[in-house]
Amino acid sequence: MEALLILVQRLTYPNRWCELTQMFGRPEPELSLIFNENVTDIHERFGDLLHNLDVWLHPQAFARAVFDKGSPLRDCWGFIDGTARPICRPVKNQRIMFSGHKRTYCLKFQSVVAPNGLICHLFGPLEGQRHDAFVE
């Protein structure tokens, strides 16, 4: 149970190994070893689910569910989502990284998200100055 808690806590954001040493009372190398062993075990057991997305994606069922909820589109199964991720002010190329709309330095990404929450396609990063219409 402790190994699973270490894995889940490490995968949450934000945290560092030094914070986990205080939480679990173990040194950093030991926590790292436990984490890596857990990830390896999970990959060996369930790695086939990551290599074959047919298990996760059912476009016909998704399109039917979206249509049943009242959408006029019969073939819509994914939703476009754009996001601007703030970054520190760069030393070079400040102008192209600045988004006037968000008033921050950022990198832009666009994704297609399935109704089950899976990101099917991810495009980016692009400069912050780019308009959302450019991100296709």
What are the pLDDT digits (tens) for 103-125? 999 999 999 998 888 888 888 89
130 phi, psi to nearest 5 deg: -65, 140
Q: What is the mean pLDDT of residues 33-47?
A: 94
pLDDT(78) > 70: yes
What is the distance between the alpha carbons of residues 124 and 82, in angstroms, rounded to a whole number? Answer: 10
Whether the CB-CB separation of 97 and 90 falls below 8 Å is answered with yes
pLDDT(69) > 80: yes
At residue 9 the predicted structure's pLDDT band, cuts being 50, 70 and 90, is very high
128 band by pLDDT with thresholds 50, 70 and 90? confident
- Pairing label, strands 104-113, 79-86: antiparallel
Q: What is the dihedral of CA 54, 57, 58, 62, to 10 degrees?
A: 180
Average pLDDT, the chain: 89
Q: Measure the CA–CA gap between 121 and 114, rounded to whole angstroms.
A: 10
Q: What percent of the chain has pLDDT over 90?
A: 47
Q: List, as own/partner pairs, every contact residues 86-95 make where C-beta atoms lie below 8 angstroms and the sequence separation is at least 24, other chains included.
A: 87/128, 93/127, 95/129
136 or 126, higher pLDDT: 126
Q: What is the pLDDT of residue 136?
A: 62
